[in-house]
């Protein structure tokens, strides 16, 4: 990876301290985003995608906390801990204050588009008003200029009749239009990085297509980097250059997009790709992944995927694989957290395969998210 | 799981048949079905006028949610129904089941016209027609144990005695991939995929022939979605079910369907065998939908976002072909004798002005942007000139930035759009005539396309 990433995340761990126990929503993940790059964060529901992406701007609160890791943006430290005199971790000196995060980073350096647009728009003000206010605050221009700029932004994100829609309230917009407004807001301060949490998931495929086009145009035009959070491998293939696959709080595979699809090196990614119905060809029978994702409160020991993995062996139950470069090509970094790869050197080949029975037991003892699913393997 | 254990599940039905392949007899036929809703007009709804005097007149508008739809569904097959949200898929499904009263048209189920049978008769017919909804969370009553939920339809139709129902419910739970012991639990402890399985068990409890599935896997994760889809396919084979399967996800439709119907703004615009629809789409809307899907293959050429704008309102659908306001292939009006290139430029300009998709520009800039490589003559050129004149910055007002969005100027844009639409869109055959269904002759006689390009 390049020596000067725009954003780098090192060993990030986020936990929620709930009545039912400690949830490790994000477990020691590391990744980078380069300038002008679209990076994907993909995984199923509950994998930790939202928590991971919101941590980058320190937007985790309530029972949740970043407990470990370092987040750097350009030459600034968004998050870092050090050991205090009493042995307890404390904030490192170079870490930005909340005030600095708010005024210097959020919005004008890094912007966020949330999963639900209604949450980010105020229902009692017109869309134009909110956009104009936002631009005026962040860009130090007159009200009139801000209005004109707001209309220009609405147009830029493909809202037709922008001047007229400017006067309308959020509830008068369709889902796709609201999502565009949020993109317009994110763009308004010309940030270098936009974090987008499933911005097209609730949209029709035709509208999603328009937004994906838009993002690619904007990236070309302004060189904006994106962290694109999604569960849709189609969207990943379409717009991402670099991909991080998450499972149960862990990044299990990390590689350039072509390698993720054509040279898959983790069994979860493999299984995910095999279980999808395809738009481009007819698949008679889907290869479903057995079982359900275990609960993050009491995750399985060893490899987090071992309760569902078709190739799990006993060593997978004992050893937690970290993410290592397993690439066979010196020019490509392709990381995987699967013990099958020689680099882990745990004698996977010599270990006994786990039977369905032992896996089911593992699944049960790890406590699945809900009632244990029997026969879910069909 | 052996088939033997389940003999009693299938044997009790007179209608079930062991065949796993669809035979060609029709189970459902829908003929000229319409469902209109009367609603308060968008302008007034949401406001409260009760204290106004004199009383404000409420305007009622008609939403043509389903408009003249005809198709048939064959025994044992899965008919997939796709379209953008709001195009009328769910309304169509509910009307077919007579959960909504049709405004017009007929629905034949096993030869019986559901549109004009009495309530009692309808009630007993319902046993053969079940429905599964999108949101497994809200469709299960949280206060009822799973067993009661599954048994409910059987009770409503007086099927079996208490003991028999319990036995059947447990057997069905097992059959849809749950533990029979889940009979005693409440639904909240189940995952989304498991809840959808409970729904399946409930729907199948009365041994229906026909199951309407409205986005049954839309809220499920990929890996769970695959499990549920596979289970649905197995149950179909085993119980000889016929599915009407609604989804907005074209990949799911491609996987599960035998035939596919594409819906746009209350109408079915194309229908045919699955492979035909996906490999050889004919209607411009079908093509656009297929082009929009992000393909899970980074080496595929990403040609998405070909459709601009959103689905227009169903209260006032476009005349002629309802797709014409977004159609990338809108046919040129005869009167101007435009070449293909000229028409493309005119169409693009017309739509850009209509949707106001570009910032105010000077005349030369507009011409550069839209008409750089094409020359127009005669009447067409005159119309374009007039429109450009209205919106060009130089002729409108000098101070463009201030003008952005101001009242008078935006009226001029609207005038320009009207002039263009009058000349070029409303005179197209696509606006003048409703495209008839072109039924293709040949072995696949069910294929039809409703588009003026195909006739
Ligand atoms: N406020 C909270 N309190 C307790 N646990 C939480 C909280 N927020 C998230 N979690 C847990 O953190 C884990 C990761 O959740 P997250 O929302 O990041 O997943 P996700 O990948 O974004 O899923 P989705 O695709 O459904 O959006 C889950 O186990 C979730 O239950
Ligand atoms: S480490 Fe073991 S269980 Fe995990 S993905 Fe690799 S083979 Fe499967
Ligand atoms: S009839 Fe005209 S507008 Fe409608 S789909 Fe065909 S070409 Fe397009
Ligand atoms: Mg999320």
- CB contact, 8 Å: A220 with chain B? no
Q: Which of B224, B290, B304 lies closest to A212 in CB terms?
A: B304
Residue B218 lies in a domain: yes
Q: Which of B191, B307, B404 lies closest to A369 in CB terms?
A: B191
> What's the average model confidence in pLDDT over A42-52?
92
pLDDT tens digits, B293-319:
999 999 987 667 678 877 888 888 999
Do the Cβ atoms of B347 and B329 come closer than 8 Å? no
Closest alpha carbon within chain A to B250:
A279
The binding-site residues of ligand 3, defined as CB within 6 angstroms of any ligand atom, are B 284, 321, 323-324, 327, 329-331, 430, 435, 451-453
Cα A45 to middle of ligand 4, angstroms: 7
CB B194 to CB A287 under 8 A?
Answer: no
Mean pLDDT score across all residues of chain B: 84
pLDDT value of position B23: 54
Residue with tokens 């170079």: A94
CB A371 to CB B310 under 8 A?
Answer: no
Q: Which of A200, A355, A286 is nearest to B224 (CA)?
A: A286
Cβ-proximal residues to A13 (8 Å cutoff; 6+ apart), any chain: A24, A26, A27, A28, A29, A66, A67, A68, A69
Q: Cα separation of A339 and A316, whole Å?
A: 7
Closest alpha carbon within chain B to A157:
B357
Residue A16 lies in a domain: no
Q: Considering only residues A172 and A31, tell me which one the structure prediction assigns the higher pLDDT.
A: A31
Residue A117 lies in a domain: no
Q: Which atom of ligand 3 is nearest to the CA of B321?
A: 4
Low-confidence winner among A68-77, B53-62, B417-426 (lowest mean pLDDT) = B53-62
Share of residues in chain B with pLDDT > 70 (%): 84
Q: Cα separation of B438 and B453, whole Å?
A: 10
- CB contact, 8 Å: B286 with chain A? no
Contacts of A277 in chain B (CB under 8 A): 226, 229, 249, 251-252, 254-256
- ipTM (interface pTM): 0.85
Asked whether residue B248 falls in the same domain as residue B338, the answer is no
The Cβ of residue B56 has, within 10 Å, a number of other Cβ atoms equal to 11
Asked whether residue B253 falls in the same domain as residue B338, the answer is no
- Ligand closest to A268 (CA) is 2
- The residue whose CA has the least distance to atom 6 of ligand 2 is A338
Q: In which band, very low, low, confident or very high, does the pLDDT at B363 lie, cut at 50, 70 and 90?
A: very high
Q: Cα separation of A55 and A48, whole Å?
A: 11
Mean pLDDT score across all residues of chain A: 88
Low-confidence winner among A84-93, A144-153, B134-143, B172-181 (lowest mean pLDDT) = B134-143
> Does pLDDT of A199 surpass 80?
yes
CB B250 to CB A279 under 8 A?
Answer: yes
Q: In which band, very low, low, confident or very high, does the pLDDT at A80 lie, cut at 50, 70 and 90?
A: very high
Residue B78 lies in a domain: yes
Q: In which band, very low, low, confident or very high, does the pLDDT at A163 lie, cut at 50, 70 and 90?
A: confident
Token pair of A2 as six digits: 């390049």
Residue A141 lies in a domain: no
Q: Residue B16's Cα: distance from chain center in Å?
A: 30
Q: Cα separation of A82 and A69, whole Å?
A: 10
The Cβ of residue A131 has, within 10 Å, a number of other Cβ atoms equal to 24
Q: Which of A43, A53, A31 is nearest to A269 (CA)?
A: A43
Residue A158 lies in a domain: no
CA distances from A34 to A2, A213, A241, B416 (A): 8, 21, 10, 45
Pocket test for ligand 1, best of A18, A19, A23 (most atoms within 8 A of CB): A23
Which residues span the domain enclosing B232?
Answer: 10-257
pLDDT value of position A359: 63
Residue B427, classified by CB atoms within 10 Å of its CB into exposed (0-12), middle (13-18) or buried (19+), is middle
Residue B36 lies in a domain: yes
Cα A246 to middle of ligand 1, angstroms: 12
- CB contact, 8 Å: B54 with chain A? no
Residue A270 lies in a domain: yes
pLDDT value of position B15: 41
Do the Cβ atoms of A6 and A34 come closer than 8 Å? yes
Do the Cβ atoms of B279 and B247 come closer than 8 Å? no
pLDDT value of position B315: 84
> What's the average model confidence in pLDDT over A302-328?
95
Q: In which band, very low, low, confident or very high, does the pLDDT at B137 lie, cut at 50, 70 and 90?
A: low
Pocket test for ligand 1, best of A13, A22, A51, A296 (most atoms within 8 A of CB): A51
Asked whether residue B25 falls in the same domain as residue B139, the answer is yes
pLDDT value of position A209: 87
Low-confidence winner among A5-9, A362-366, B386-390, B437-441 (lowest mean pLDDT) = A362-366
Q: Which of B354, B307, B358 is nearest to B329 (CA)?
A: B307
pLDDT tens digits, B151-170:
999 999 888 999 999 999 99
pLDDT value of position B397: 55
Residue B203 lies in a domain: yes
Residue A327 lies in a domain: yes
Token pair of A187 as six digits: 């763009």
The alpha carbon torsion through A84, A87, A90, A95 (nearest 10 deg) reads 60
pLDDT tens digits, A261-312:
999 999 999 999 999 999 999 988 899 898 888 888 889 999 999 999 999 9
Count how many domains chain B has: 2
Do the Cβ atoms of B423 and B349 come closer than 8 Å? no
Q: Cα separation of A180 and A182, whole Å?
A: 5
**Between residues 156 and 175 of chain A, which touch chain B (CB distance below 8 Å)?**
158, 160-164, 166, 174
Do the Cβ atoms of A135 and A154 come closer than 8 Å? no
pLDDT value of position B386: 95
Q: Cα separation of A177 and A183, whole Å?
A: 10
Cβ-proximal residues to A31 (8 Å cutoff; 6+ apart), any chain: A8, A9, A39, A244, A251, A254
Please state whether beta strands A64-73 and A38-42 pair in parallel, antiparallel, or not at all (unpaired). Answer: unpaired
CB A163 to CB B405 under 8 A?
Answer: yes
Within 13 Å of residue A127, how many CA atoms lie on the same side as its CB?
A: 29
pLDDT value of position A203: 79
Closest alpha carbon within chain A to B179:
A374
Cβ-proximal residues to B388 (8 Å cutoff; 6+ apart), any chain: B363, B366, B367, B416
pLDDT value of position B52: 44
pLDDT value of position A204: 83
The alpha carbon torsion through B64, B70, B73, B78 (nearest 10 deg) reads -50
Count how many domains chain A has: 1
Sheet holding A7-18, edge to edge: A21-33, A7-18, A64-73, A76-79
Low-confidence winner among B67-81, B84-98, B185-199 (lowest mean pLDDT) = B185-199
Cβ-proximal residues to B214 (8 Å cutoff; 6+ apart), any chain: B89, B90, B93, B131, B132, B133, B134, B246
> Does pLDDT of A319 surpass 90?
yes
Contacts of B356 in chain A (CB under 8 A): 155, 160-164
Residue B328 DSSP symbol? T
The phi and psi torsions of A101 (rounded to 5 degrees) equal -60, -45
The minimum CA-CA distance between A161 and chain B, rounded to whole Å, is 5
Q: Cα separation of B429 and B433, whole Å?
A: 6
CA distances from B107 to B35, B71, B117, B257, B343 (A): 12, 10, 10, 21, 43
Helix (H) or strand (E) holding B259: strand B259-264
Residue B110 lies in a domain: yes
Q: Considering only residues A215 and A228, tell me which one the structure prediction assigns the higher pLDDT.
A: A228
- The residue whose CA has the least distance to atom 12 of ligand 1 is A25
Asked whether residue B338 falls in the same domain as residue B241, the answer is no
> Does pLDDT of B6 surpass 60?
no
> What's the average model confidence in pLDDT over B191-198?
84
The phi and psi torsions of A91 (rounded to 5 degrees) equal -65, 135
> Does pLDDT of B395 surpass 70?
no
Which residues span the domain enclosing A272?
Answer: 266-374
CATH of the domain at B178: 3.40.50.300
Token pair of B331 as six digits: 């046919």
pLDDT value of position A214: 84
Asked whether residue B70 falls in the same domain as residue B218, the answer is yes
Residue B272 lies in a domain: no
Q: In which band, very low, low, confident or very high, does the pLDDT at B21 lie, cut at 50, 70 and 90?
A: very low
Q: Residue B419's Cα: distance from chain center in Å?
A: 33
Q: Is cis: bond before B19, omega within 30 of 0? A: no
pLDDT value of position B141: 86
Residue B348 DSSP symbol? H
CB B295 to CB A285 under 8 A?
Answer: no
The binding-site residues of ligand 2, defined as CB within 6 angstroms of any ligand atom, are A 266-267, 303, 305-306, 309, 311-312, 316, 321, 338-340
Low-confidence winner among A60-69, A272-281, B56-65 (lowest mean pLDDT) = B56-65
> What's the average model confidence in pLDDT over A212-223?
88
Residue B418 lies in a domain: yes
Positive or negative torsion for Cα B104, B105, B110, B116: positive
Q: Where are the alpha helices (DSSP H) in chain A?
A: 49-55, 98-100, 117-120, 127-139, 143-156, 162-165, 175-188, 205-222, 233-239, 257-262, 267-275, 314-318, 356-365
pLDDT tens digits, A113-156:
887 766 788 889 999 999 998 888 877 888 888 888 898 888 88
Cβ-proximal residues to A327 (8 Å cutoff; 6+ apart), any chain: A255, A259, A333, A334
pLDDT value of position A174: 79
Do the Cβ atoms of A56 and A5 come closer than 8 Å? no
Q: Considering only residues A333 and B23, tell me which one the structure prediction assigns the higher pLDDT.
A: A333
Pocket test for ligand 3, best of B288, B449, B453 (most atoms within 8 A of CB): B453
Q: In which band, very low, low, confident or very high, does the pLDDT at B3 lie, cut at 50, 70 and 90?
A: very low
Q: In which band, very low, low, confident or very high, does the pLDDT at B40 lie, cut at 50, 70 and 90?
A: low
Residue B420 lies in a domain: yes
Asked whether residue B103 falls in the same domain as residue B218, the answer is yes
Q: Which of B365, B367, B364, B328 is nearest to B349 (CA)?
A: B367
Cβ-proximal residues to A354 (8 Å cutoff; 6+ apart), any chain: A306, A312, A313, A314, A316, A317, A362
């Amino acid at each position: 990876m390049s020596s000067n990433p725009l954003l780098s995340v090192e060993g990030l761990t986020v936990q929620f301290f709930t009545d039912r126990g400690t949830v490790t929503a994000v477990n020691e993940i590391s990744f980078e985003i380069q300038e002008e790059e679209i990076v994907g964060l993909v995984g199923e529901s509950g994998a930790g995608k939202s928590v991971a992406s919101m941590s980058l701007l320190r937007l985790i609160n309530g029972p949740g906390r970043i407990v470990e890791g370092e987040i750097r943006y350009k030459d600034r430290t968004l998050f870092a801990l050090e050991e205090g005199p009493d042995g307890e971790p404390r904030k490192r000196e170079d870490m930005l204050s909340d005030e600095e995060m708010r005024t210097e980073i959020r919005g004008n350096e890094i912007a966020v588009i949330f999963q639900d647009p209604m949450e980010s728009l105020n229902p009692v003000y017109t869309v134009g008003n909110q956009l104009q206010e936002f631009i005026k605050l962040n860009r130090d221009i007159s009200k009139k200029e801000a209005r004109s700029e707001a209309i220009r932004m609405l147009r830029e994100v493909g809202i037709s009749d922008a001047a007229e829609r400017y006067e309308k309230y959020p509830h008068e917009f369709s889902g796709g239009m609201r999502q565009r407004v949020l993109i317009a807001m994110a763009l308004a301060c010309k940030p270098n990085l936009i974090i987008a949490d499933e911005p097209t998931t609730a949209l029709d495929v035709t509208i999603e297509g328009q937004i994906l086009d838009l993002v690619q145009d904007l990236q070309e035009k302004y060189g904006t980097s994106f962290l694109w959070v999604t569960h849709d491998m189609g969207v990943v293939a379409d717009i991402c250059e670099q991909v991080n696959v998450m499972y149960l709080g862990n990044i299990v595979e990390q590689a350039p997009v072509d390698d993720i699809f054509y040279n898959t090196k983790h069994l979860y990614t493999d299984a995910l790709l095999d279980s999808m119905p395809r738009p481009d060809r007819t698949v008679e029978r889907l290869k479903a992944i057995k079982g359900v994702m275990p609960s993050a409160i009491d995750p399985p020991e060893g490899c987090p995927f071992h309760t569902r993995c078709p190739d799990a062996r006993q060593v997978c139950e004992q050893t937690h694989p970290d993410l290592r470069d397993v690439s066979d090509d010196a020019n490509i970094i392709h990381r995987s957290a699967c013990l099958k790869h020689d680099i882990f050197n745990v004698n996977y080949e010599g270990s006994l395969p786990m039977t369905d029975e032992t896996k089911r037991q593992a699944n049960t003892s790890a406590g699945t998210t809900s009632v244990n699913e029997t026969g879910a393997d069909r | 799981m052996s088939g033997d254990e389940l003999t009693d599940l299938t044997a009790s039905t007179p209608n079930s048949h062991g065949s796993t392949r669809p035979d060609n007899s029709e189970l459902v036929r829908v003929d000229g079905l319409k469902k209109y809703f009367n609603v308060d007009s968008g302008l007034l709804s949401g406001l409260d006028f009760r204290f106004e005097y004199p009383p404000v007149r409420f305007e009622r508008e008609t939403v043509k949610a389903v408009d003249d739809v005809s198709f048939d569904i064959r025994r044992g097959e899965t008919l997939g129904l796709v379209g953008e949200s709001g195009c009328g898929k769910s309304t169509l499904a509910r009307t077919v089941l007579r959960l909504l009263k049709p405004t017009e048209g007929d629905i034949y189920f096993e030869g019986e016209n559901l549109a004009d049978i009495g309530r009692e008769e309808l009630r007993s017919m319902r046993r053969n027609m079940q429905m599964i909804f999108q949101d497994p969370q809200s469709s299960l009553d949280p206060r009822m144990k799973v067993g009661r939920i599954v048994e409910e339809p059987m009770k409503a139709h007086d099927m079996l005695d208490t003991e028999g129902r319990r036995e059947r419910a447990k057997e069905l739970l097992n059959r849809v991939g749950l533990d029979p012991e889940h009979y005693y639990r409440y639904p909240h402890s189940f995952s989304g995929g498991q809840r959808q399985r409970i729904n399946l068990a409930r729907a199948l409890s009365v041994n229906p022939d026909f199951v309407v599935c409205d986005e049954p896997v839309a809220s499920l994760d990929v890996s769970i979605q695959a499990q549920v889809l596979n289970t649905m396919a197995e149950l179909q084979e085993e119980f000889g079910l016929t599915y009407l399967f609604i989804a907005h996800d074209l990949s799911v439709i491609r996987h599960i369907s035998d035939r596919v119907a594409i819906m746009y703004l209350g109408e079915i615009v194309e229908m045919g065998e699955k492979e035909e629809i996906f490999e050889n789409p004919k209607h411009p809307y079908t093509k656009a939908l297929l082009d929009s899907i992000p393909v899970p293959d980074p080496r595929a050429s990403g040609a998405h976002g070909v459709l601009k704008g959103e689905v227009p309102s169903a209260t006032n659908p476009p005349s002629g072909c309802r797709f014409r306001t977004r159609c990338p292939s809108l046919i040129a009006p005869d009167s101007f004798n435009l070449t293909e290139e000229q028409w493309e430029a005119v169409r693009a300009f017309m739509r850009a002005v209509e949707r106001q998709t570009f910032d105010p520009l000077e005349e030369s800039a507009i011409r550069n942007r839209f008409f750089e490589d094409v020359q127009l003559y005669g009447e067409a050129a005159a119309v374009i000139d007039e429109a450009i004149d209205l919106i060009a910055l130089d002729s409108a007002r000098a101070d463009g930035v201030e003008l952005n969005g101001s009242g008078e100027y935006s009226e001029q844009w609207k005038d320009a759009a009207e002039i263009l639409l009058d000349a070029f869109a409303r005179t197209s055959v696509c606006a003048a005539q409703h495209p008839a269904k072109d039924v293709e002759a040949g072995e696949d006689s069910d294929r039809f396309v409703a588009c003026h390009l195909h006739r």
